[in-house]
Amino acid sequence: MNPFLPWPGSKAKCSADIIDEFPTEIGTYFEPFLGSGAIFFGMGNYNSLRRFKRARLSDTSVNLINCWKAVMERPEQVAKILAHCLERNNGDFYNEMRKQTTSPSVFLYVMIAASSSMARENLKGVLDTIGKRIRYDLDQIGLCSRYMAAKNVELAVASWIDAIHDVKRGDLVYFDPPYLPFTESGFVNYVAGGFGEGEHVFLRTQCRLLSEKGAFVALSNSDVPASRRIYGEPTKLISVTNAVKSTATNKGKRSEGLWIWEPR
């Protein structure tokens, strides 16, 4: 199942490579850096064979979590307003809607429009590359809503460290934190205040502690010297397409690492 929401660094295109490493039986599924939730939705594919009865999904972005809640609780309303926004899509309308992203439907529209047009800001901070007709399957909102209901989803605005307090033996935690940069000037700041090497070191320690509690822990990040220094050798390397080829390591491709801590 595809996510309803496009997101920077989404794992939608490589979710199967990650999910293949997961156990088949899971207690509660935790995803503290939620974004598009590509791994959560990917486990709903017919060939995933990963079973879990509940999911606890969280992020520090209030607008993101509100969008997820709206899709889960009132998908018809979200789809109706989104359709209206998509019909009016152009540069002026988009830039006006960027000021109103507390509305879940508008937030979703802004993310879809930016992703579809590969929008980039000019020096004045104006997005002026948007104007084409956007293809978006509105039925996906209802599909994702029903899947969330079936998996007893709990959504929360929370830091990643607060989100994992209740992890127990048999649970699975998937971390997809802001990436360590592929280049010295690489953009990885998806969260206010950044997420530097010190935060990654602390996260590594928590991964180990969670595994000692009996949880299965997986983490995605860039395959660079800094990530190997902090997390060790990756369990698996995954080749992904880079959205911006100028920062890719090889013809629009780059290597990402998947680190796994088995339950103890």
Percentage with pLDDT > 70 across the chain? 84
pLDDT at 94: 92
28-31/172-175 β-pairing: parallel
| Model confidence at 11: pLDDT above 70 | yes
Token pair for 137? 């399957």
pLDDT band at 34 (very low <50, low <70, confident <90, very high): very high
Report, as an integer, the average pLDDT of 12-20. 93
Whole-angstrom distance, CA of residue 140 vs CA of residue 136 = 9
- Of 71, 69, 106, nearest in space to 86 by CA: 106
Q: Can you tell me the distance from the alpha carbon of 32 to that of 202, in angstroms, rounded to the nearest whole number? A: 15
- 255: three-class secondary structure by DSSP: strand
* 95: its two tokens: 């830039």
Q: Convert the pLDDT of each residue in 141-196 to its tens digit.
A: 999 999 999 999 999 999 999 999 999 999 999 999 999 987 654 444 444 456 88
Task: Please name the fold of domain 15-60+158-261.
Answer: Rossmann fold (3.40.50)
For the cut 60, the answer to whether the pLDDT of residue 214 exceeds it is yes
Runs of H (alpha helix) within 133-224: 139-150, 160-163, 197-212
Q: What CA–CA distance (Å, rounded) separates 71 from 77?
A: 9
pLDDT, tens only, 113-123: 988 654 444 44
Question: Where in the chain are all domains bearing CATH 3.40.50.150?
Answer: 15-60+158-261
Question: Average pLDDT, stretch 111-133?
Answer: 59
